[in-house]
Structure 1
Amino acid sequence: MPFQLHRRKALQWFLMLLAAVMLSACGFHMRGPAQLPFKTIYLGFSGNSSLGTELKRYIRASGVEVTDQATEAEAVMQVLANTTEKKILTLNSNGQVREYSLYQRFSFQVKDQAGKVTIAPIQIVLKRDVTYDPNQELAKQAEEVLLYRDMQSDLVQQILRRLSATKTNVDETVEE
Structure 2
Amino acid sequence: MNALLKVIGIATLVGVLSSCGFHLRGAPSLPENVNTVVIESARAHAPLARALDSRLNIYGLASASGEGAKQTSENINIYLLPEKLDRQLLSVYPSGQVAEYDLIYVVRYRVSFPNKQPLMAQFEVVRDYQDDPDQVLAKSRELDLMLDEMRAEAADIIIRRLSSQAVAALDESE
**Same fold per superposition (TM over 0.5):** yes
CA contact (8 A) 1:36 1:164 kept: yes
The aligned residue for residue 35 of structure 1 is: 29
Identity %: 25
Match of 1:23 among 13, 20, 24: 13
Larger radius of gyration: 1
CA contact (8 A) 1:109 1:117 kept: no
Match of 2:52 among 34, 52, 55: 55
Spell out, residue by residue over 1:93-149, the C-alpha distance to the aligned partner (whole angstroms, 9 max, x if none): 3211111221211101112455x4242x21111221111222233332233223222
Q: How far off is 1:16 after superposition?
A: 5.6
What 5-or-longer segments of structure 1 have no aligned partner? 1-9
C-alpha change, 1:72 and 1:56, in structure 2 (3 Å) is: farther
The aligned residue for residue 94 of structure 1 is: 95
C-alpha change, 1:149 and 1:61, in structure 2 (3 Å) is: closer
Q: TM-score, normalised by structure 1?
A: 0.70
C-alpha change, 1:131 and 1:111, in structure 2 (3 Å) is: same
Separation (CA, whole Å) in 1 of partners of 2:145 and 2:5 = 37
Matches within 5 A, 1:73-88: 73-88=74-89
C-alpha change, 1:129 and 1:62, in structure 2 (3 Å) is: closer
Q: TM-score, normalised by structure 2?
A: 0.70
C-alpha change, 1:145 and 1:16, in structure 2 (3 Å) is: farther
Separation (CA, whole Å) in 2 of partners of 1:23 and 1:57 = 35
The aligned residue for residue 124 of structure 1 is: 123
CA contact (8 A) 2:79 2:111 kept: yes
Match of 1:66 among 63, 76, 85: 63
Q: How far off is 1:72 after superposition?
A: 6.1
CA contact (8 A) 1:35 1:62 kept: no
Q: How many residues align?
A: 159
Quick one: which amino acid aligns to residue 59 of structure 1? Answer: L
Indicate the SS of the match to 2:137: helix
The aligned residue for residue 7 of structure 1 is: none
What 5-or-longer segments of structure 2 have no aligned partner? none
C-alpha change, 1:62 and 1:95, in structure 2 (3 Å) is: closer
Q: How far off is 1:61 after superposition?
A: 4.7
Two-structure CA RMSD over aligned residues (Å): 3.1
Indicate the SS of the match to 2:81: strand
